[in-house]
Copies of this chain bind each other. A is one copy, B any other.
Amino acid sequence: MSARRCGVVGATGAVGRELLRILEARDFPVASLRLFASADSVGVRLPFRGQHLAVSAIAPGSLEGLDLAFFCAGANVARVHAPAAARHGCVVIDNSSAFRGDHDVPLVVPEVNGDAIASHRGLLANPNCAATLLATALHPLRAVAGIRSLIVATYQAASGAGRAAMDELLRDTRRRLDGQDPGPPAALPATLGFNVFPHVGALQPGGPSSEESKIRAELRRILAQPDLPIDATCVRVPVLRCHSAAVTVGLDRAVDPAAARALFAGAAGVTMDDGPDGAGYPTPAEYSGADGCGVGRIRASSVLNPGLTFWTCGDQLRKGAALNAVQIAEAL
């Protein structure tokens, strides 16, 4: 792969910073690197290959002359700047939700539907973090047994709501430890310190949250099963990074737990963390900073028959976001 002139938009956020670390650690062929963020981050310098690169404000035309841009900002920034960059010949890998529902834009987890990358027209979408981790874990079962239905309850870290939410969790936890009122939440919809709440993204009255809708819509696209029945309950937990999920999956053909362990053990992107004695399981504390999506606690389902129940855990900022984006770029 020839070296690329690269840009990172939203470089100062939690995903942007992780992306810089991953580009460096994986020795991605970067010919040049330009960093962008909102105006209030101008002047910030971020480390990359021994240098400290200054962050510029994103503006019309900022991305001209680049071969490849990673967007790690919100959907509004992506809608304004990504299509223009693509028109100028820059390939954009966008981490926001802006283009995930656009059927002209491949929505890609390389281990699962990497063949979709070739069809891009300048824009590619990185899926929602929870959808990426679930797709990675489900793919080995899909390939052998077919997926018929899915019930998932998530345990999502503060990192999914960005750096401000992580800072708010730390601050509120300390206040509660010190016997103080944590005060009203700002980055999150409720106080997260020593608490959990089933409210990730926007809550739609009487229906799924926006996160639950994303998981359903994006998993259906990534797995190429547009009618797959999915029940998701997305819950924020007081963890800094790494999303977890309790998954029950209905299959077309029976796979017993021992066979499932063998499938997971051989699957790209998956770390089997449920030894022959079943005593292991992945946790956020162990998987923070790890690349793999851990799978453990694999059991036969009593309700979805044939089916399996398992536990999965992966770093939201890595496989759930920045790593997946870099993997797409490597596959281009």
Residues of A within 8 A of B (CB): 149-151, 153, 155, 170, 173-174, 177, 190-191, 194-199, 203-208, 229-231, 233, 235, 237-240, 244, 246, 248, 250, 257, 277-279, 281, 283-285, 296-299, 301-305, 309, 311
Contacts and interface: CB of A to CB of B under 8 A. Distances in A.
Contact of A194 (B155, B285, B311): B285
Contacts of A208: 299
A207 B246 contact: no
A60 to B, nearest CB: 38
A189 B244 CA distance: 18
Nearest to A149: B303
A326 to B, nearest CB: 26
B238 A238 contact: yes
A255 to B, nearest CB: 14
Given A299-B208, A303-B229, A283 B196 contact: yes
A267 to B, nearest CB: 19
Contact of A155 (B196, B205, B248, B277): B196
B196 A284 contact: yes
B285 A150 contact: no
A226 B26 CA distance: 54
A161 to B, nearest CB: 15
Nearest to A150: B303
B235 A246 contact: yes
Contact of A151 (B151, B205, B230): B151
A301 B208 CA distance: 11
Given A198-B296, A238-B237, A299-B207, A285 B230 contact: no
Contacts of A177: 170, 173-174, 177
Among A177, A244, A302, max chain B CB count under 10 A is at A302
